[in-house]
Structure 1
Amino acid sequence: MSTTQSERLRGLLEPLVAKTGLDLEEVTVTAAGSRRQLMVVVDSDDGVQLDAVAELSRDIAQVLDDTDAMGQGEYVLEVSSPGTDRPLTTPRHFRRNEGRLVKLTLNNHEELTARIMALDEAGLDLEVPGVKGRKPKPRRVEFAEIAKARVEIEFNRKNKDDDVDAADTADADTDSDESIEEA
């Protein structure tokens, strides 16, 4: 049985990434001109801090140089966290996005945009936004029903802790000059 270079690299890097408390999400080797590019994507339940990525990148580079896993040719190493357009493919991806709006394509080709309210080992409890002033509706979707899923970016989402109404915001704006001078 043959293993690809990406699979061999995953086997080499997974223990190193796990030591940092991160999850190895993806390892991809692609041609980039005369060089190759090694993309390593990591994530965690608490997100990924820039300092952790920088330290992990140095550690990965050292391991790759010590083992000659990338061969003799030049390569570019890129270590990053997943982007917002990453597909949600495992239960941990959905868990990390609890409370966020997601777009699902179900196996029956139905498309559904809903907020993840809770999840368990079998599936998701969702809140489907109401249409034309109607109240949101709960819906259950099993993981086995999901063909594709991605996070929907919300630019105007109100935070859970944001219970400030417009009047409070207006009052805060009138004091803004004093706050700037004090800072």
Structure 2
Amino acid sequence: MSKVVEVVEQLASPVVEGLGLELVDIEYVKEGKNWFLRVYIDKENGVDIEECGLVSERLGEKLDEADPIPHNYFLEVSSPGAERPLKKARDFERAVGRTVLVKTYEPLDGEKTFQGKLIAFHNGCLTLECKVKTKKIEKEIPYDKVANARLAVEF
């Protein structure tokens, strides 16, 4: 994690939690010639534009005081969206029963990408119910082998 992200997380956490929201993720990226600081927030039934605006305003004040970024940047506060990333153990615990997309660092049985219903997360292992042709199979994926994961929207 970059130093900027660490400092922003320390500044953002009390602001976000003080509003009864969850800090999902922070990105600090350069796109073209511009830098973007993206803060993703959520709550059980989703966040609205007013909550994003309030976090942006309060966090902006904290960032101005601490001044952890030496150049111009754009601050964006938003929901992580329907396909929110799953990064922490508690994200996986809350996603049980939902469809997820998981990519692993190394192949497991020749595959690195798995999509299916997360039916369990315990003892450092995800259990997915995946569809293979016409059959449903259970696939166990060790948590420490997960490169990235997110909720998946099915149509």
TM-score by length of 2: 0.72
Structure with bigger RCO (C-alpha 8 Å, 6+ apart)? 2
Q: Name the amino acid aligned to 1:64.
A: L
The percent identity for this pair of structures is 29
Tell me which residue corresponds to 2:130: 128
**Residue in 1 that maps onto 2:39:** 40
Q: Which residue of 2 aligns with 1:159?
A: none
Aligned letter for 2:98? R
CA distance in 2, matches of 1:76, 1:28: 11
Aligned residues: 150
Between the aligned partners of 1:19 and 1:29, the Cα distance in structure 2 is 23
Cα distance in 1 between the residues matched to 2:132 and 2:137: 7
Distance 2:138 2:101 in 1: 15
Say whether residues 1:146 and 2:146 are aligned partners.
yes
* Alpha-carbon distance in structure 2 between the residues aligned to 1:44 and 1:153: 18
2:5 is aligned to: 6
Counterpart residue type for residue 60 of structure 2: A
Q: After superposition, what is the alpha-carbon deviation per residue over 1:42-99, rounded to whole angstroms, capped at 9, x for unaligned? A: 234443333322211111122223444445x543221012245554332222234332
Deviations 1:104-158 (A, max 9, x none): 23454123322112323522232222523x4x23343331343333333212xxx
Please say if residues 28 and 39 of structure 1, whose CA atoms lie closer than 8 Å, have aligned partners that are also in contact: yes
Q: Which moves more between the two structures, 143-152 or 111-120?
A: 143-152
1:33, distance to aligned residue in structure 2 (A): 6.7
Matched residue of 1:129: which SS? strand
Q: Please, what TM-score do these two structures have when normalized by structure 1?
A: 0.63
Indicate conservation of the 8 Å contact 1:45/1:96, yes or no: no
Partner of residue 87 from structure 2, selected from 86, 89, 97: 89
Answer 1 or 2: which has greater strand percent.
Answer: 2
Amino acid at match of 2:56: S
SS, match of residue 126 in structure 2: strand
Gaps spanning 5+ residues in structure 2: where? Answer: none
1:91·1:121 contact (CA, 8 Å) conserved in 2? no
Q: Which runs of 5+ in 1 are unaligned?
A: 156-183
Deviating 4+ runs (over 6 angstroms): none
Q: Which amino acid in structure 2 is aligned with residue 125 of structure 1?
A: T
